[in-house]
Every structure is written in C-alpha cells, then in structure tokens.
Amino acid sequence: MNHRIALFVSESVSIIALVGACFAPAAQAQSMSTREELHANAVVSFQHGRFPEAYGRFIRLADAGHAPAARVAMFMFHNGPSLFGSDWDVTQEQLSAWAALIDRPAPVLQPLIYPRAVVPVAHSSR
C-alpha cells in the first residue's frame, strides 16, 4: 500500500470514528458526567462568543477542581483585555489553586491602574 492510500485510510477511520461519536446512542450521552456536561456548555458559550458567560462557567468548574477548565480560565484571565476586551475578576487564591491543578507556577496577581477620566465633573450648587 502506498503512502497516499495509507494516509487516506487513516484519515477515513478517524472521520468515521468522529461521526460515530456524534451519533452515539442517547444512553451514552446520559452517561456523561455532570462536570463534562458543564465543561461542554462552557465551551459552547466560548465558541459562540459569549465570553463573560464562558468565563463564569469555566471559573466555577476550575474552583471545583476541574483542570481543563482551570487551564482555560487562566488563559482567559491572562488575555482578557487583549483578546476579550475585558478584565476578568479573579483572586490570588483562585490563581494559585488553578495553577496547582494544571501543574504550573502560580502567577502573582498584579494591581491594575486605570487612568483618571479627563471629563470635568459638574459641581452642585447647594
């Protein structure tokens, strides 16, 4: 069998396995653990661009000890302003716990300093 045919067969088997998993019986879907289902819901929120909702779902799972969710929550936290246009809320305790879950060094939470508004405030005449 030449290389091209072997590659085609390998890819075909992978595609068949993927399609089979998508059309698995309902009993298999019911056996999905609650954590896996919650994680799947968080992923769907992320994929649909509902980032605040996704972050909330990921941090709840991460706080409950779910390592894949902790990895995504840390990614979203670190890239909040640049990728998602938002600073996500987090505590140092959360960052440390999530880092331990994914076997990474705990980042140190840094304070954010926002520039003062340049708009004058009206004085009340009381």
If one counts the domains in the chain, the total is 1
Residue whose pair of structure tokens reads 């140092």 in the numeric block: 92
76-96, pLDDT tens digit by residue? 999 999 999 989 999 999 999
Local structure of residue 87 (DSSP, 8 states) = P
pLDDT in tens, 106-117: 989 888 777 777
The answer to whether residue 72 sits within a structural domain is yes
* Assigned domain for 68 exists: yes
Domain contains 1: no
Q: What is the pLDDT, as a whole number, of residue 16?
A: 41
- The verdict on residue 8 lying in a domain is no
Residue 3 belongs to some domain of the structure: no
SS3 125: coil
- Indicate yes or no: pTM above 0.95: no
> Does 103 or 9 have the greater pLDDT score?
103
What residue numbers bound the domain in which 75 lies? Answer: 31-106
Q: Is 58 domain-assigned?
A: yes
Say if 52 falls within a structural domain. yes
